[in-house]
Amino acid sequence: MSEAPQKRREQPPGPSGVPVVQNTFQYADDPLEFITDVAREHGPVAEYDIGGISFYQVSDPELAEHVLVQENQRYIKGELFQDSLGTVLGEGLLTSEGEFWRQQRHLMQPAFFPQMLKRYSEIMVEYTERMLSSWEDGETRDIHEDMMSLTVEIAAKTLFDVDIREEESAVGDALETVMDYSSTSMRRPVDVPQWVPTPRNRRYKQALEDLTEVVGRIVEEHREGELDPESNDIVSLLLTFRDDDGNPLPDKQIRDELVTILLAGHETTALALTYTLHLLGTNPEQADTLRDELDSVLDGDSPTFTDLDDMTYTEQVITEGMRIYPPVWELVREAAEPDTIGGYDIEPGQTVSAQQWVIHRDPRFYDDPLEFRPSRWTKEFKRDLPKFAYFPFGGGPRRCIGDRFALLEARLALATIAQSWTVDPTHELEFDPSITLRPEGTVEMVVNRR
């Protein structure tokens, strides 16, 4: 007796590819244009193949919420994410899974409590003013480089309670190297194994060693000092932790968490500030409105935590900047269990990508979506907007642990810069989208004192 034929699983629509490489070259030519065209031409769930990996692209708020919130237990970060960042971050918060991840997140949560944010705000302003003291009126600066340096120094001081000014250049270079290397394996097959001693692999290995050495020194400095069990800086939280049997965290785990926080705790904020400053530099009317608010609220003084409630337009500017240029432009998940998205079956192992870049620019939710219009973010507009029509920090249990920290830093740094300086971009933005929405090359702007 013959077996009944199995019902063929219906596949989502998607762009046609070419034999062997499928959609790889189409994607590589311009990833952002590719995913935008896929959404427009094939709808909210589409399938394509890049580097031998089949992707289900999700570009609808309800479906993104389905993956990230409603059925989040069916999804993990997955093999693609581990291949990209596992060597760098080990079992840190971004890459770990399950009960271990929940334990680590709970352990570090006190560093981001509201009472801590108020304390951090003074450092954020102080360090921004310190950066601005090195600017010269009329000079051309790489604003992205400036913002990366600023945010890594702020992250180290607020979250680790260390001043890394003397090491910032080396740390920044190491972080840049590992991000560049890790990004190549996200949808871009790595052509040379890590063990082959190519110049690129040697630079990557050296960067990992440099980061491990810096983090090791930070840990030892804390150990040599008086550890305060009540302290909420992340190094102290990790060092004073004891499990049910009284065992401390292994040094390797402490290293993984600190590198994760150092990496994730600065780059996305630096990108948000870079792109928002570029938008202000190319939209003088909105820049004038921002400066009018800052002049009215601050009257020449440094911004403080208590000023934030009166800086409505400043917050709208940051929100709109992260809508148009989301630092995290997509969220990739791997199905651990069967699921159904938009009527299509998802099998375990299938890669799903929820697209902030596409959804944030969807004309169904945003009138003139490519126009930089901070004033659109009224209370009424936010109330009526579908929840996942705007999700720069992700959503669900794995929403960014430092989202409030990042927004606080972005608003205070922008206010500190914009009340005293104007910026004039020298060229259009170009992107190298990888794990984050990184710029292609420098982001040069002429800075002028007001």
194-232 tens-digit pLDDT: 767 788 788 888 888 888 888 898 999 888 876 565 677
* Backbone φ and ψ of 94, nearest 5°: -75, -30
What tokens appear for 119 in the block? 């304390």
**What φ, ψ does residue 54 adopt, rounded to 5°?**
-85, 125
SS3 for 235?
helix
Cα separation, 338 vs 349, whole angstroms: 9
- Please give the structure tokens belonging to residue 270: 């630096």
Q: Report whether 410 contacts 318 (CB < 8 A).
A: yes
Tally helices (H) and strands (E) across the chain: 17, 12
pLDDT in tens, 278-306: 999 999 999 999 999 999 999 999 999 99
Q: Is residue 8 part of a domain?
A: no
If phi > 0 it is left, if psi is from -120 to 50 it is alpha, else beta; for residue 52 that is: left
**Nearest-angstrom CA–CA distance, 278 and 292:** 18
Question: Domain containing 128 — which CATH number?
Answer: 1.10.630.10
Distance in angstroms (rounded) separating the CA atoms of residues 111 and 104 = 12
What is the pLDDT, as a whole number, of residue 263? 84
Residues 385 and 101: beta-carbon distance below 8 Å: no
Task: Note the pLDDT of residue 224.
Answer: 83
Judge whether 289 lies within some domain: yes
Q: How far is CA 139 from the centre of its chain?
A: 29
When comparing pLDDT for 233 and 71, which is higher?
Answer: 71
In-domain check, residue 303: yes
Distance (Å, rounded) from C-alpha 335 to C-alpha 79? 10
Q: What is the pLDDT of residues 358-398, one digit of tens each?
A: 999 999 999 999 999 999 999 999 999 999 999 999 999 99
Is 297 domain-assigned? yes
Look at residue 435 and give its three-state secondary structure. coil
Domain that holds residue 403: 24-449
Answer whether residue 357 is part of any domain: yes
Instruction: Extract the tokens encoding 261.
Output: 């926080």
Which residues contact residue 420 at a Cβ distance below 8 angstroms, ignoring those fewer than 6 apart? 132, 449, 450
Q: What's the distance, Cα to Cα, between the start and end of the chain in Å?
A: 86
**Counted domains in the chain:** 1
Q: State the pLDDT at residue 182.
A: 75
**Torsion angles phi and psi, residue 350, rounded to 5:** -70, 140
- Domain assignment present for residue 10? The answer is no
With b meaning 16 or more CB within 10 Å and e meaning fewer, what string describes 130-160?
ebbeebeeeeebebbbbbbbbbbbbbbbbbb
pLDDT at res. 226: 65
Hunting for tokens 């199995």 — which residue is that?
6
Pairing of strands 53-58, 45-50: antiparallel
Residues 13 and 47: beta-carbon distance below 8 Å = yes
- In angstroms, the CA 74 to CA 338 distance is 7
* DSSP β-ladder status, 339-341 and 75-76: unpaired
Please give the helix or strand (H or E) that residue 124 lies within, else none.
helix 114-132
CB 344 within 8 A of CB 56: yes
Asked if residue 362 belongs to a domain, the reply is yes
Distance, CA of 149 to chain centre: 16
Task: Specify if 116 maps to a domain.
Answer: yes
- Closest residue by Cα to residue 174 from 199, 147, 149, 210: 210
Q: Which residues of 363-392 are buried (b: 16+ CB within 10 A; e: fewer)?
A: eebbeeeeebbbebbeeeeeeeeeebbbbb
Tens of pLDDT, residue by residue over 2-18, are 444 444 457 899 999 88
Cβ-based neighbours of 5, under 8 Å, separated by 6 or more? none
Q: Is the confidence at residue 188, as pLDDT, over 70?
A: no
168-184 vs 143-160: helix crossing angle, rounded to 10: 110
Look at residue 193 in the predicted model and tell me its pLDDT. Answer: 66
pLDDT of residue 117: 94
pLDDT digits (tens, 9 = 90+) for 133-173: 999 999 999 999 999 999 999 999 999 988 888 887 888 88
Question: What is d(CA 248, CA 131) in angstroms, rounded to the nearest whole number?
Answer: 38
Q: Checking phi first, is residue 43 left (phi over 0); if not, alpha (psi -120 to 50) or beta?
A: left
In whole angstroms, what is the distance from residue 352 CA to residue 54 CA?
A: 9
431 pLDDT higher than 50: yes
Residue 156: closest CA among 263, 60, 239: 263
Percentage of residues in the chain having pLDDT higher than 70: 94
- pLDDT per residue as tens digits for the range 228-276: 656 778 999 999 998 888 999 999 999 999 999 988 888 999 999 999 9
